[in-house]
A = this chain, B = another copy of it.
Amino acid sequence: MNQPTLASLAAELQVSRQTVSNVLNFPDRVRPETRARVMEAIERSGYRPSAAARALRNQKSMALGLRLSQHRNGISGTIVDGFMHALVKRADQRGYRIVLFPASTNDEEVDKLVGLRRSLAIDACILTDTWYGDSRPADLQREGVAFASFGRPWDGDDHGRWVDVDGRFGAMEAAGYLRGLGHDRIGFIGWDDGSPVGRDRREGWAEALDLSDADADLLTVEGEDSVLGGAEAMAALLERGADAAVCASDSLSLGAFTEARRHNRRGVSLVGFDDTPISRTLGLTSVRQPVDEAARVVLDMVLAQLAEPETQFSGVLVQPDLVTHEPPDFLTD
């Protein structure tokens, strides 16, 4: 690659290297006619200031670090992938690229982020998949690495640098929708892994239906996040007299759907989470998470920190919406 440089441009134009540099960085210091002549030559030559040189000068790489989320087997694994797609597009609009890397643990993630920041390969980072006792925000603050998180801190200090989807609200909407259809025993099919996201959704379901703790326990079945898990949970709920369910994921909802059909219980209604492609094509109603809005907000937060490190933030909950679908004819005939 025969790459033009400040020096080669300056030689070609018979001006000083400093003049070319000034046109790029401090155009007001250069006489308008010289500025025009230099700009024209710069554009014609395809010259671009080296990212490496720029990074050394302003310590900016125009890149944000992101740990590759685990590739889950379930169909619900798509939500963080969907967020990543939205983030890459939104970041591009602001001139930033996303630097992807894997990590097996949160500590490894923090180590890699600190290393990337110290070597000026990233300016800041985005966290996802927050959990109870998550030490990453405190670790990154101590190391001076700017960040914002898709996912709230579920306990501990609220650093405010987060955006999350209000799953509790989504579950309330789902339960209200099922009650509006005329159902009066509406179960909850959740995860048995203690996930804070799952607990939040369960609370929303119980609150919307004004259930006693005993009723909520009776109408909750938790298992693994899979189609089979959903089928098993639905079998248990049918025995307990439920005729509808809010499901913590579309995998569970799909399993519940097949189980209800196996028993020829066509009157059973279900709502899943994430409005995944499979639910859309099978016509299963679901709670859609606004990942594009979440990506936009998280990016605003992290870029605001880069502009002004002392900025104070408050966490932002974005609201999901219920997307109703009817099963297509080929499934219901």
Q: Please report whether the interface of chain A is mostly helix, strand, loop or mixed according to DSSP.
A: helix
Say whether B88 contacts A277, CB under 8 Å: no
Say whether B102 contacts A99, CB under 8 Å: no
Say whether B75 contacts A277, CB under 8 Å: yes
Contacts of A154 in B (CB 8 A): none
Alpha-carbon separation in the docked complex, A1 to B251 (Å): 44
Contacts of A85 in B (CB 8 A): 68, 71
Mask: chain A, 262-286; 1 = CB below 8 Å from B; 0 = not: 1000000000000001101110000
Contacts of A49 in B (CB 8 A): 119
CB of A52 closer than 8 Å to a CB of B: yes
Alpha-carbon separation in the docked complex, A51 to B59 (Å): 11
In the complex, how many angstroms separate the beta carbon of A144 from the nearest chain B beta carbon? Answer: 4
In the complex, how many angstroms separate the beta carbon of A12 from the nearest chain B beta carbon? Answer: 17
Q: Which listed residue, B68, B120, B231, touches A50 by the CB 8 Å rule?
A: B120
Protomer copies: 2
Stretch at the interface among A30-38, A177-185, A198-206, A325-333: A325-333
Contacts of A118 in B (CB 8 A): 1, 3, 46, 48, 50
CB of A81 closer than 8 Å to a CB of B: yes
CB of A61 closer than 8 Å to a CB of B: yes
CB of A53 closer than 8 Å to a CB of B: yes
Tell me the chain A residues, 39-77 only, with Cβ under 8 Å from chain B. 46, 48-56, 61, 63, 68, 71, 73-75, 77
Alpha-carbon separation in the docked complex, A55 to B120 (Å): 11
Say whether B119 contacts A51, CB under 8 Å: yes
Alpha-carbon separation in the docked complex, A190 to B121 (Å): 44
CB of A115 closer than 8 Å to a CB of B: yes
Say whether A120 contacts B52, CB under 8 Å: yes
Residue of B nearest to A55 (CB): B52
Contacts of A281 in B (CB 8 A): 75, 226-228, 251, 255
CB of A82 closer than 8 Å to a CB of B: yes
Say whether B51 contacts A121, CB under 8 Å: yes
Alpha-carbon separation in the docked complex, A50 to B254 (Å): 50
Say whether A68 contacts B88, CB under 8 Å: yes
CB of A132 closer than 8 Å to a CB of B: no
Alpha-carbon separation in the docked complex, A143 to B46 (Å): 12
Say whether B258 contacts A63, CB under 8 Å: no
Say whether A50 contacts B119, CB under 8 Å: yes
A54-B119, A68-B89 given; 16 more Cβ-contact pairs under 8 Å: A48-B115, A51-B55, A51-B116, A52-B52, A52-B56, A52-B119, A52-B120, A63-B121, A73-B280, A77-B277, A89-B102, A97-B101, A98-B99, A98-B101, A254-B278, A262-B331
